Amino acid sequence: MDRRSFLSSLALLGVQGCLMDASGAIRKLDAEPNDGRARRRRKGPVYDDNLVCLISDLHTNPGAYQPARLERTIADILALDPLPRNVIALGDLAYLLGKPEEYARLKEILVPLEASDIRLTLAMGNHDRRAHFAEAFPGYAAASELKDRFVYVVETPRVDFIVLDSLQESTDPRKWITPGALDDGQRAWLQEKLAAYKDKPVFVMSHHPLGEIGIRDLLLDCPTCCGYIHGHDHVWRPGWSHRNYRDRDLIRTLCVPSTGHWGDIGYTLLELGETSAVARLHQYEFFFPNPLAEGEAKPAQWSMIEEEHRDALCRFAYR
């Protein structure tokens, strides 16, 4: 039997996707070409339930430079393949004083993200105001697990995230520099939530650093709490916290950058593996206190910081 007759007989027998090589052996062809055509044939975007995107310190300032940088971040998130199932924003959604017009501009910017099947969680920072936020985003406010604070539990197949409200609002509407804090009701709620975690890993998050809100011991006492992640400082800064120098237990901490106000500018992807999680920094730039003007030379230290943070990682082991 010649080669053509042999291949015809294979087709009659239902043997498809095969090829005879020069030695006469039968070799199965790849099921999909590796040239991007398979991706284009998808009916819709692919989401990864174990991929979480973290953004923080949006500082939405209508008419200034911050909104454009947030729009860039959202466009890049929506171009990821696969897409993260969750995006969590860790506070300072508004610019300085949580004005209604700041949340109105933020709402416009978030339209493409909300139009996708990505689940968005919005936390409070010291520049936010709960009443104005709730007016602009009533659905997010109503989804809170507490009535007087905006707190959430974000569930994924492998890991859960407890997102706290560390905003301590001042009675002076013109004041925005306030330390982070948890009231007694939220602290009791958190303690009850953490007590329920016996097997599944859980992260705790808020806008402010761990030292400001005073919950280190609660996290160390939870057998599956694997990390604390926050914003506020506008820098990429992995670290750890411990009870004392005789205690071997540590809580891994991570500060994530701003999307466009000052400091490290970028977003973070958190990949949730089976035994550990990896946070990867996607940094666009660094500037302080304002971005460069057109034609202005970049300071050498800014370039140095950007280079140091290239391909930066922070790993979290599940406890």
Mark whether 11 and 54 lie in a shared domain.
no
pTM of the model: 0.86
> What is the tens place of the pLDDT at every residue in 220-262?
999 999 999 999 999 999 999 999 999 899 999 999 999 999 9
Give the pair of three-digit tokens for residue 95.
Answer: 């610019």
Distances (CA, A) of 87 to 90, 108, 172, 273: 10, 17, 32, 17
Mark whether 174 and 26 lie in a shared domain.
no
Burial (Cβ within 10 Å: 0-12, 13-18, ≥19) of residue 118: buried
Tally of domains in the chain: 2
Mark whether 82 and 23 lie in a shared domain.
no
> What is the tens place of the pLDDT at every residue in 117-166?
999 999 999 999 999 999 999 999 999 999 999 999 999 999 999 999 99
> What is the tens place of the pLDDT at every residue in 43-102?
789 999 999 999 999 999 999 999 999 999 999 999 999 999 999 999 999 999 999 999
Mark whether 21 and 78 lie in a shared domain.
no
The three-point CA angle 41-46-50 to 5° equals 155
CATH number at residue 311: 3.60.21.10
Mark whether 23 and 98 lie in a shared domain.
no
pLDDT score at 172 = 80
The arrangement of strands across the sheet holding 119-122 comes to 119-122, 83-89, 47-55, 263-272, 276-287, 313-317
Mark whether 231 and 301 lie in a shared domain.
yes
Tell me the chain's radius of gyration from C-alpha atoms: 24
Residue 36 to residue 39: CA distance in whole angstroms: 5
What's the domain range around 283? Answer: 45-317
Residue 260 to residue 66: CA distance in whole angstroms: 5
Mark whether 13 and 85 lie in a shared domain.
no
Question: What is the 3-state composition of the chain as percent helix, strand, coil, each rounded to the nearest 5?
Answer: 25, 25, 45
Mark whether 13 and 71 lie in a shared domain.
no
All residues at 6 or more sequence positions from 254 whose CB lies less than 8 Å from its CB, including other chains: 227, 228, 229, 230, 237, 238, 239, 268, 279, 314
Mark whether 110 and 254 lie in a shared domain.
yes
40 within a domain of the structure (yes/no): no
Residue 291 has pLDDT above 70, yes or no: yes
When pLDDT is averaged across residues 296-303 and rounded to a whole number, the result is 97
Cβ–Cβ contacts within 10 Å for residue 272, how many?
A: 21
Say if residues 125 and 93 touch (Cβ distance below 8 Å): yes
